[in-house]
Amino acid sequence: MNGHKSAVKGNSSSDHKPSKGGWNAAIFIIFVEMAERFAFYGLVGNLISYLTNVLKEPVVAAVKDVNKWRGVSFVFPFVGAFIADSYLGRFKTIVFSSIIYLLGMVLLMISASSVTPEGCRRLMLFIALYILAMGEGGHKPCIQTFAADQFNESSPQEIMAKTSFFNWWYLGIVFGALSSTVGVTYVEDDIGWDIGFGIIAAALAIAFGIFLLGIRRYKKQGPLGSPLTTAAQVLVAAVRKRRVDETRDGRGICYGDTANGFILAEPQMMTQARTEHLRYLDKAMIIDDIDASSNRRNPWRLCTLKQVEEMKLVFGLIPIWLAFLFCSVIGAQMSTFFTKQGSTMVRSIGPHFNIPPASLMGVSCLAAIIVIPIYDRLLVPQMRKFTGKPSGITILQRIGVGQFISIIYILVAALVETKRVKTANDHNLLDDSEATVPMRIWWLLPQYILCGFSDAFGIVGFQHLFYDQMPESMRSIGGALYIGTFGAASFLSNGIIYVVETSSKGKWLGNNHLNRSHLDYFYYLLAGLGVLNLGIYVVVAKRYVYQKASENYNL
């Protein structure tokens, strides 16, 4: 039915070989994800510095380049999810994407080395970056789902093991990100960019080798059929039957297919309860005269009840996705303008060590690690007394808290930037783009810490929502939608920068260095738009109806 037929490899063997799957397999997958996060943060956190300091790009142009690359990197997972679900399966997609990722990183290392002519470095850099984006697109939507596939949800012991696995999974991600932002960024800044990129490439190669060592232990599924095809079929069928009257023309609801491929119908009075929202999609499952005469179901004209209800779950999440988008726009500034702010400030600790500005991203990770257990162990029990909900507050409320904190930290960033420019003015440094403003980089800590708090509420809640509320057969698309938020936010950030540049005639962001720009005005604008967006989010969230037993969340 619609290509959604499970093609499980080795099921019979897995029943007799307990070594398949479980922790015996999952531990190998953790290393791959840890290395991928190590590579990503070692690159994205410092890319703005490489573009401006080595390739001598203007600041705003470099920010746009970073945002474009981030946008493509976070949009490619839709392609990767489609290929995995339709053609290759998750395991093969991870293997091929890891090879592409590694090749891109090797090319990036070569582009930064002395053997590459100066005139070719920029071209090679961007070729390497977009090869990396392709690898990211295949890796990101598959790796976590493939890891979850290793645990059997029908077994209570496996469910407990799966919960433990995701705790270690998150710690692995944080360890990869922290070690990269602290260690690799220092090597890139103070020793050599080619060496820093080489360390990342070596880590990827070692992790990929470890992943292949576990090849005989993995539970592997073949392609299950693309959920995107199902979505298209429901929309096309609903449009084709837009004039069908359900009560007059309908001959029942399509419940599925028989073993012989014929339509399995139920009278409308006997069919299972349907959701009341997005009722125009219901026409896709109505059996009319044409369907009844053909007996066999045309999937582009008649869909099943299950397919339609799954699409309602997906389409119902789209307004939430759009309303969360601007929170990600604010977050996108951390790896661009925040880093450039830090590069102009006093970064020395003692006479011989300078803090890489990108390493402050590690502070954001640490803040999230600290606040999550405090929220889970202290705040949730207290809130539970007032709300009566097992999770203390709903997931949508948690996301809203994250959005509110994002507004606070961009306001803090604006205030710090105002002080930084004033300090530069007091010391007659406004026209010196290479000067270090006599102001410690520690002034940036509050905005990074608050960013971590925002992620602990908003990003974690958003990811949970798009996992829990998605149909099980479409969770890879749910993961791609979650990741795609950051890609769309990067493109939207570039659009806002373009509008600001044009409307301010270059006075806010048009200068080649920050001292003569008005980055603080740009931050205030983002804060104002964030307040407007938060209001829209509250309206959308109030109208959202949970489609599963969501009030049993134990966050």
Q: Which long-range contacts (CB under 8 A, 24 or more apart) does 80-84 make?
A: 80/137, 80/138, 80/139, 80/140, 80/141, 80/142, 80/480, 81/141, 81/142, 81/476, 81/477, 81/479, 81/480, 82/226, 82/228, 83/138, 84/138, 84/141, 84/142, 84/223, 84/476
Residue pLDDT, tens place only, 237-276 = 999 998 887 665 556 788 777 655 556 665 443 344 466 7
Q: Which residue has the tokens 């290929």?
A: 83
Q: At what angle do helices 156-179 and 118-148 cross, to 10 degrees?
A: 160
Q: Is the pLDDT of residue 198 over 90?
A: yes
User: Predicted confidence band at 12 (pLDDT cuts at 50, 70, 90)?
Assistant: very low
Helix, strand and coil content of the chain, in percent to the nearest 5, comes to 70, 5, 25
User: Predicted confidence band at 5 (pLDDT cuts at 50, 70, 90)?
Assistant: very low
Beta-carbon count within 10 A of 25 CB:
22
Averaging pLDDT over each range in 14-18, 40-44, 105-109, 354-358, which range is the top one?
A: 105-109
Averaging pLDDT over each range in 93-97, 137-141, 503-507, which range is the top one?
A: 93-97
Averaging pLDDT over each range in 129-138, 154-163, 248-257, 457-466, which range is the top one?
A: 129-138
For the chain, how big is the Rg over CA atoms in Å? 26
Residue pLDDT, tens place only, 169-195 = 777 787 888 888 888 888 988 889 999
Percentage of the chain beyond pLDDT 90 is: 32
Look at residue 417 in the predicted model and tell me its pLDDT: 95
- Tokens describing residue 504: 């301010």
What value does the mean pLDDT of the chain take? 83
Domains (range + CATH), the chain: 1-223 (1.20.1250.20), 227-308 (no CATH), 309-555 (1.20.1250.20)
* Higher-scoring residue by pLDDT: 508, 506: 508
In this predicted structure, which of 190-194, 272-276, 316-320, 412-416 has the lowest mean pLDDT?
A: 272-276
Interval 299-320 mean pLDDT: 89
**Quick one: DSSP state of residue 358?**
G
Q: Is the pLDDT of residue 13 over 80?
A: no
Q: Is the pLDDT of residue 18 over 60?
A: no
Q: Cα(19)–Cα(453) distance, rounded to whole angstroms?
A: 39
Interval 356-373 mean pLDDT: 86
User: Predicted confidence band at 219 (pLDDT cuts at 50, 70, 90)?
Assistant: confident
In this predicted structure, which of 232-241, 420-429, 497-506 has the lowest mean pLDDT?
A: 497-506
Look at residue 422 in the predicted model and tell me its pLDDT: 93
Interval 483-491 mean pLDDT: 89
Interval 15-41 mean pLDDT: 79
Is the separation of the CB atoms in 226 and 54 below 8 Å? Answer: no
